[in-house]
Structure 1
Amino acid sequence: MPRKRVISQEPPKRRVRTGCDRCRARKVRCDEQKPTCGQCSAKGFDCQTSIKLKWEQDYTSAGRAFGRAGLWSKKAAEKSNAASPCIHVTEDEVSWIRIPLISSYSFVNATVGNIEQLTTLENLAIDAAPVLDVIHTNDRDDTSSTASLSPWLSARQPAFLPRQHFIPSSLSMLPDLPSAMHSSLLSYYLEKICPITVPSSVNESPFANLILPFSISSSPAVLESLLALAACHRSKKDIAFRATSLRLGDNVLRTLRGRLGTEDPLEVAMDPETLVIMMILCQYEIINECDKRWVVHLKGARDLIRVRRNAQLYLAAGQSSVDLVEFAEKYFAFQDVIGRTACGEEPIFGIDFWTSRGEDTDAWLGCSAGLVSILCEITELSRQHRSRPGVSLLPEFQFKAASLERRLCSLRQRVLNEEDDLLQLSAELKRLAAELYLHCALNGATPAMPLVVRLVQQILHLVSVLLEHGVLAGLSWPLFVAAVELDPMEDLEWAERQDLPDEVPNYARPFVLYALSRLAGSNAIANIAKTRSVIERIWLTRSHDEISDTQLEGLEKGQNDWERYVAPLCGGLSLA
């Protein structure tokens, strides 16, 4: 007689999936008590719980269903496999379809004007020269964080320069770079770095119309140094480019050292590539840390230029190389002059380099060669005073200082394009900063003097105007000269509040910090962090001396204001 089935009112017990390892192996129910479950406690076992990962590939290869997919039967799986047998075909029976040409055009963030410009440039490039050999590095292709700034620039589609003023027709097409990272960096160099090396968009940057064509046509090493510079500059805001910057910079150094160690020294010195690479590496170190490593390149360039001139082969090169070498020499000499105005150290490039007293304003210098020549003479005279303070009492010294002051006041810096107001303002800004520097370094002017206050106000006003127009080139040195000559006992009001935008401070110290933040936020071609650090230390030293007797010690030694506060803190500082 069958027994009567008792219907339980309790809910059905479900399998547990988090039991201990031993209960799961014995296939018994685990009460999951911690630290030892009931089963293991009764048997005297060690209770351990672990996670076992199951992979779908293992189940599929064993002919078992994974999880709840399919049926829990090997026979069902075999029947399923038998229902769809593999079809084998020979090579003759296969018909391959031709892969269509897929262009690298992207309509994201592009306009109709971009596409029209691209089409025009492609038509111009039909008869262009073959793609030039370029560098080959093993950079990781990381397009996720290095998207090209140009809507049509990619690793496979060459970019075109927007302007072809100094670039030959055979260089109308940039090289096909080995990775999207390189294309992105080259685009960044063209669109972000080159425009901010000159104070006005009316003038072309020599970094674009001289260095870039040379790197494409003649020097893969220079091209790699430009990519390293772009990565270094971009790493200021995106640390992901730091490793790429260091790797590319190390490759360039290895190439330069290899040439210096294996080739004829004179041949290496006479090659414009060597001087250009040293210039880019110098700029790289300034942007990177602005320590004394950039001075090493400066001194090396001086020796290299001496060898070139002594060999008397300088004029034998082509005209394009002459222009390139002249710019490189001007770059190093200008860095030397502006850097020495702050520290007053011995010159690396002699005063004979700036013999020209021309009044035509140079677009890259942001002033005339005549003004740089005056600055060089002021610095030399200041260095004499620093070594022998008593020399300032001599009539010869006073006559030279007065002569330089007259030259500065009467200097008229001509701008060839009358509509280029920004370049004119930049030239006047540097002239005012040179005048303030002369009075402080040679005539013993102090921050409390009305003349110094007036010049500081004028300099800060021009800095504000240029910042408002987006100018970044050439502002570091004038801003530095005005900032270090602020009176610690009085907060100078350089402009009326109603004449300025709300975000622009009208007091000198807050405005200096505001301007430095603007330059740093816009990634100006300078090391703003170190410049700001030096300015703040000078402010702190001045404030400390005002309430102590330390200031009298400097006066007893015959030091002027610039020698007492500015020069000792500015070794290795680049302000150009």
Structure 2
Amino acid sequence: MSRSFTGCKRCKARRQKCDEQHPECGRCKAAGAQCRYAMQLQWGGRAFSRSRFGACVGPGGMQRLEYSPGEFVYTTVKNEQMSPVESMTPVSSPSSASSPDLPLVRQIDPFSSLPPTHKTLLQHFIRDASHVTSCHPGMQQEICKMIVPMALQTPSLLYATMALSAIHLEALNNHSEMVKTAPDIARLMARSLEHFRVELQDPTRKGSDALLATARTLCLAEIHSGAIQPNTWRAHIEGARALMTTTQTSATPNTAFRKYLDRWYRSIVALSALNGNGPPIGEKFVDSESRDDWMANDPDYLDDYWGFTVQLADIFREIGVIAWQRHRNNSEALEFQGGDEESEERAATLEKHVLGLIDRYSDGNQLVFYPGVAERLSEDSIREFMLCNEAFQHTALIHIHRRIRKVPVSSPEVQYSVKQILACTSQIVPRSGLSPWVMLTTPLFTAGCEALGEDREAFKQLFLSLHDTTRIPNVLQSLNFLEVYWADDDKNDEEDWSHYLDRMNFDFIPY
């Protein structure tokens, strides 16, 4: 077999000779692997700035666009005011006759090879669906710039992104309650999982950001659709955990996208810990002495992706561990000496830390954002982030009182936090995205479950407004569960909502 440069991508990556049979070569057919042929363009020679082409274009006329580590193209400098969609959409070249002073500019349409339906879904993701996963425009643009180019090279991520977009599109058409049974969405999810399994076996993709991005997008698609069956959204978080464990031992570069994925994983694990339908993912907690030192010395960054601070995320995980251990012991009727006393002591420590965080920011201290974030936010956005973070702080207090201490729902400490969450969330302006408003499902649901009297109607109206603006089907699912929980007069007063749903065999996360 003679040497050739036109073999399939798998053989090239494995440095093996390819027989170049179509539609699949012999090696890929024998291995049962996907076989793909693609032409890879390479440039060499002088540096671009010193090349003849670079000299013709002149300074400031071109820029290097790196769409994945080590892979880049040169493109025209785009207008800073251009939206992510406009920067990815082809534009017609100006006529030299009508505009003699303007250079000919033609941008490449990255979606040109996609079927029309796929192209439509990706454009909807960029224009609309990505807004409901972002708390401000800067983050939405960063997500699109990271996700979309990677999706065009990774089939599993492409189909997962289109599924997330299709879910939002169905909800916009007032079909939120039918999303889980929509055949088109089911096919997109199935295709994503099919490609995902193949890509996980590819040694060249081991530890790649694309695989972790796929797990993240599949998880969001399951949650947004309102999935309630076991091993749906939770399975993707477990998969992300396994991928992150693998990459920690590999030479994967710590890119900006990887840092974003790390933040997503830490926070989704924290929110899942507030769900009592299973053991917290990555079950562990820090001893009290280490916790005091950590909280005293480290900055408490507010994660602008989720709307709450780093320290609060860690507290959520510890709440989940303690509550799950206590629930498991009670369910199995195990007697262990000092169990309740130990839980109470740990609950008191957690409450102390949460109250300390509330006092810190109520004294006029500003939240600390990650570097470069606060400069892109308006004063109103910063104020709404503070209100969102305060709502999550009182969410933590409710979980401590109800799930660990088993305090009655009518107790003053529980009802105080309920009213504080109602006050905070009512001051955040309802928007269709790019605002902390899109992150309020968890605090609204937590407080709504403990609401009494007229407060229940207030939370119902907030949920309806949240769904009408964001069009996330899981928001409507959360309201449906809330009304079922309110209507059940036979439930035990000590039974919190997470264990109530566990008894009903629902695996649900209010996000």
**Structure 1 length-normalised TM:** 0.59
Shift of 1:468: 4.0
- What CA distance in whole angstroms lies between the structure 2 residues aligned with 1:202 and 1:570? 39
Q: Deviations over 1:353-379 (max 9, x none)?
A: 998754110101211110011111112
Moved more, 333-342 or 203-212: 203-212
1:366–1:426 CA contact under 8 A, matched in 2: yes
Counting only pairs closer than 5 Å after superposition, residues 398-547 of structure 1 correspond to structure 2 as 398-411=344-357, 412=360, 414-416=367-369, 417=374, 419=379, 420-468=382-430, 471=435, 472-487=437-452, 491=453, 507-525=454-472, 527-541=474-488, 543-545=489-491
Letter of the 1:451 partner, please give it. Answer: E
For structure 2, the residue ranges without an aligned partner over 5 or more in a row are: 1-57, 69-82, 93-106, 362-366
Partner deviation per Cα, 1:102-134 (whole Å, 9 max, x = no partner): xxxxxxxxxxxxxxxxxxxxx99974679999x
Partner of 2:343: 397
Aligned-partner Cα distance in 2 for 1:466–1:124: 45
**CA distance change for structure 1 residues 132 and 303 in 2, over 3 Å: closer, same or farther?**
closer
Cα distance change of structure 1 residues 440 and 567 upon mapping to structure 2, 3 Å threshold: farther
What residue is the counterpart of 1:303 in the other structure? 242
CA distance in 1, matches of 2:351, 2:281: 24
SS in 2 for 1:484: helix
Whichever residue aligns with residue 519 of structure 1, its letter is L
Q: Measured at CA, do residues 230 and 394 of structure 1 come closer, stay the same or move farther in structure 2, by a change above 3 Å? A: closer
Partner residue of 2:274?
341
SS at match of 1:361: strand
Shift in alpha-carbon separation, 1:564–1:153, aligned structure 2, 3 A: closer
Tell me, in whole angstroms, the C-alpha distance in 2 between the residues paired with 1:281 and 1:290. Answer: 12
Gapped regions of structure 1 (runs ≥ 5): 1-122, 134-148, 159-171, 492-506, 546-550
Larger Rg: 1
Q: Distance in 2 between matches of 1:124 and 1:221?
A: 39
8 Å Cα contact 1:198/1:205 also seen in 2: no
Distance (whole Å) between structure 1 residues aligned to residue 441 and residue 317 of structure 2: 18
User: Superposition pairs for residues 153-172 of structure 1, below 5 Å?
Assistant: 157=91
Alpha-carbon distance in 1 for matches of 2:193, 2:149:
21
**Alpha-carbon spacing, 1:393–1:156, altered in 2? closer, same or farther (3 Å):** closer
- How does 1:39-438 map onto structure 2 within 5 Å? 127=62, 157=91, 175-177=110-112, 178-201=114-137, 204=140, 207-215=143-151, 219=154, 221-238=156-173, 242=182, 244-260=184-200, 263-264=202-203, 267-291=204-228, 292=230, 293-309=232-248, 312-313=249-250, 316-320=251-255, 323-351=256-284, 357=295, 358-389=299-330, 394-411=340-357, 412=360, 414-416=367-369, 417=374, 419=379, 420-438=382-400
Give the total of aligned pairs. 386
What is the SS of the residue equivalent to 1:428?
helix
Residue 332 of structure 1, CA deviation: 3.5
* Higher alpha-carbon deviation: 185-194 or 232-241: 232-241
CA RMSD, aligned part only?
3.8
SS of residue paired to 1:249: helix
Q: Which whole-Å CA distance do the structure 2 matches of 1:272 and 1:319 have between them? A: 10
Instruction: For residue 327 of structure 1, report the CA deviation from its aligned partner.
Output: 2.9
- Is contact 2:485–2:497 with CA below 8 Å preserved after alignment? no
% identical aligned pairs: 19
Query: Larger relative CO (CA 8 A, sep 6+): 1 or 2?
Result: 2
| Letter aligned with residue 191 of structure 1 | R
Deviation, structure 1 residue 199? 3.2
Q: CA deviation at 1:352?
A: 6.0
User: CA-to-partner distance for each residue in 1:278-313, whole Å, 9 max, x for gaps?
Assistant: 21111112222413322222222222222333xx21
Shift of 1:252: 2.3
